[in-house]
Amino acid sequence: MSHCSRLIVNAALVCFWLAACESTDSGITTPPPPTTRLFSTTLGDPIANLTAAELALFDAGKVEFEAVEAIDAGLGPVLAGSIR
């Protein structure tokens, strides 16, 4: 067996030995299952665990978001002026 072949065989044996000695425990654990859901199943609902003040802000924003805007009710002076 030539020197180069012997070196390749020895390197392969060392690699296999190191792979066999590798620990199966990588130290990485899976995260625990969530105890509370952060998001509701319905789009447009508030997320869970909001304070009363946060829920009031959410509700006010939802009402404003769902309101139908008319040209006279605030699309802006440039846009409203260009549409008329």
Please tell me the pTM assigned to this model.
Answer: 0.40
In sequence order, the 6+-apart residues with CB closer than 8 A to the CB of 84 are: 71
Contact 84, 72 (CB under 8 A): no
The pLDDT score that the predictor gives to residue 51 is: 92
> pLDDT band for position 17 (50/70/90)?
confident
CA 35 – CA 33 distance, rounded (Å): 6
Using pLDDT thresholds of 50, 70 and 90, give the confidence band for residue 62. very high
Report the share of the chain in percent with pLDDT over 90.
15
Phi, psi for residue 15 in degrees, rounded to 5: -60, -45
